[in-house]
Amino acid sequence: MPDESLLDIAKRLGLMNGKLSNDPIAAKIAGEVFTLNYVPLRSKDMGQIGETKRKAIEASGGKIKLLRYTDPAGYDVYFRTAQFVIFLALRQLWSSAKARMHCTVGDGLYIEILNAPDFDADVLEKRVHEIVDMDIPLRRRRISTADAIKHYAEEGQNDKARLFSYRPVPTLDVYEYEDFSDYYYGEMAPSTGFLRVWDIIPAPDGFVFIFPGRKSADEVAEYREMPNSFNVYIEGKKWGELMECETVADLNELVDSGKIRELIRVNEALHEKRFSAIADMICTRGSKAVMLAGPSSSGKTTSANRLATQLRVHGRKPILMSLDDYYIDRDKIPCGSNGEVDLEHINTIDTKLFGEHLSALLRGEEVEIPTFNFKKGKREYNGHRLKLGETSVIIVEGLHALNPAMLPEGLPEEAVFKLFVCPFLPLNLDDHNRIASSYLRLLRRIVRDYETRGSSVSNTLSMWQSVRRGEEKWIFPFQEKADVIFNSSTLYELAVLCKHIFPLLIMVGPEDEYYDEVRAIVKVLNFVHPASVDDEIPPTSLVREFIGGNAFYRK
């Protein structure tokens, strides 16, 4: 019916039942995400000779996909809706407070509160409940970028005003309620009442907002403190403060002034110092094996090689091994409940054989190490024999390296050193909008896969959600068990990756299945000034693993 919104249609069809797990929260039309407030057929578009279809509806052939919380794009809509409600409540309760989004902690988001000595997480929780119960319609208004800069500067949000000064588009859409407005780089739910499942937990200098669970979207996730990971992020944040690079606007100023070259040198020196410290710990403990794990595009390969270099400085003889060589033959891997093989499952690795080999090596015995032939999908033995010497240290890199199933029982605790590598990016767009570490890893992977494998942007994006699900199941649950967590991010690389990735992104058109995902990437990168400073990046840098020129990959 004319002038009926997608939300109205969903209600009329009985699709709204009050459960977050089932209710639509947004829609995808012709590759783009739309709010449920969108009206697909307007009476003003209907002329005497028939209907004039709206652009998106015409492009999609009338097909509309409803998105729910369990869809990645649906989760993003829920996340942005939570941002609006949280910051609205903070504004109403503590008008002079400054709130900063920081890192995720499991299924929670840590937000720091400044300039509010009387801040109380319980009071905030009560007010958020009230705003949700009010079911305030979330409608946006288009304003000029110049007006937005002026408005946020007057509001004291200089972080946002500075960022918008780099925006190349003359207008932007803000969401408003009474005298509060904010910008969150994408669509939100139709109203605050959609924010049904959440919790707020007090935390040092702020609070943690807990999102719905991954297994059941109708229940709040179980909160799990992650002190080691959190401390690594905070350490990175402090370095950002020292180097005066806390936001994208700061990074842009460094690019424009040419000071980004100094930032690169300091970042690389920090990484080198950290690898040296880790090598010190390994040698002091007397460990003979290092189990190194991390999610996709975290820089595991370069980290393993740089650690090996530092171990050589200590007089050790490092030996690099990959868990990939312990893959089970593809035709012997059992299928999952969906009839497909999950190549990231722990059952794809011959954990028993690896454990036997590791135990034998640590006992001083000689072992023939297998090699996995990816073309044939089979494990082979090519005479690669290995025996540890007095100063040898094995560095084992792999997805499941921190999984307890990889280590045989009875090993002395000091024999194995556990290292987790992941980029905890401490750079924000502005105080109310963070750049997720997974976003940085995706950019890295897109650039690397194109450069080294000729893989298109769409092909990389088609695998990304499967990769993320595997990480959530097989990597992140074990990260807190690591002896050391290494932050593999650099403050400068967003500006470097920007130059490499934009030519790839513009090749993806509206007809592509992953067009909206590309648009989401571009929305952020539009604020970033690209830096042509590849000549400053050393060949051993973690960034080189993704843009090319990595010394450890040379034959």
Give residue 468's identity as a one-letter amino acid code: R
- Indicate the SS3 state at residue 537: coil
Tell the residue number behind the tokens 């499967």, with chain if given.
Answer: 466
In this structure, are 170 and 99 located in the same domain?
yes
Task: Specify the CATH number for the domain of residue 94.
Answer: 3.30.980.10
In this structure, are 513 and 502 located in the same domain?
yes
CA distance 380 to 372: 6
Query: What would the mean pLDDT of 522-532 be, rounded to a whole number?
Result: 93
Closest to 251 (Cα-Cα) out of 525, 550, 536: 525
In this structure, are 58 and 95 located in the same domain?
no
Q: Is residue 307 part of a domain?
A: yes
In this structure, are 210 and 335 located in the same domain?
no
CA distance 13 to 8: 9
Last residue of a domain, one of 203, 227, 251: 227
The DSSP bridge partners found for residue 140 are 175
pLDDT tens readout for residues 191-240: 999 999 999 999 999 999 999 997 789 999 999 889 999 999 999 999 99
Q: Is residue 130 part of a domain?
A: yes
Q: Where are the alpha helices (DSSP H) in 97-247?
A: 121-134, 145-154, 158-164, 227-242
Last residue of a domain, one of 166, 193, 227: 227
In this structure, are 170 and 318 located in the same domain?
no
User: How many domains, in total, are found in the chain?
Assistant: 3
Confidence (pLDDT) at 1: 75
Confidence (pLDDT) at 41: 83
Give this prediction's pTM: 0.92
Give residue 230's identity as a one-letter amino acid code: F
Closest to 223 (Cα-Cα) out of 241, 204, 240, 203: 203
CA distance 76 to 441: 17
Cα angle for residues 374, 380, 385 (degrees, 5° grid) = 125
Q: Is residue 50 part of a domain?
A: yes
CA distance 181 to 84: 9
- Whether the predicted pLDDT of 49 surpasses 60: no
- Residues spanned by the domain of 219: 76-227
- Whether the predicted pLDDT of 407 surpasses 60: yes
Q: Please spell the DSSP secondary structure of 244-294, one letter per residue.
A: T-SBHHHHHHHHHHTTHHHHHHHHHHHHHHHHHHHHHHHHHHT-SEEEEE-
Q: Is residue 485 part of a domain?
A: yes
In this structure, are 58 and 202 located in the same domain?
no
In this structure, are 255 and 383 located in the same domain?
yes
The radius of gyration of the chain from alpha carbons, rounded to an integer in Å, stands at: 25
- Indicate the SS3 state at residue 234: helix
Last residue of a domain, one of 227, 262, 285: 227
CA distance 453 to 530: 24
Average pLDDT, the chain: 92
Confidence (pLDDT) at 185: 85
Q: Is residue 27 part of a domain?
A: yes
Task: Specify the CATH number for the domain of residue 359.
Answer: 3.40.50.300
Q: Is residue 1 part of a domain?
A: no
Q: What is the DSSP letter of 212?
A: B
CA distance 34 to 187: 6
Confidence (pLDDT) at 337: 66
Q: What is the DSSP letter of 369?
A: P
Least confident residue range of 215-219, 394-398, 538-542:
215-219
In this structure, are 279 and 269 located in the same domain?
yes
In this structure, are 498 and 440 located in the same domain?
yes
Confidence (pLDDT) at 452: 85
Q: If 0-12 CB within 10 Å is exposed, 13-18 middle and 19+ buried, where does residue 468 land?
A: middle
- Residue 345, Cβ neighbours under 10 Å: how many? 15
In this structure, are 392 and 514 located in the same domain?
yes
In this structure, are 30 and 159 located in the same domain?
no
pLDDT-derived band at 546 (thresholds 50, 70, 90) equals very high
Confidence (pLDDT) at 331: 86
Q: Is residue 148 part of a domain?
A: yes
pLDDT tens readout for residues 434-454: 999 999 999 999 999 998 888
Q: Is residue 400 part of a domain?
A: yes
In this structure, are 35 and 45 located in the same domain?
yes
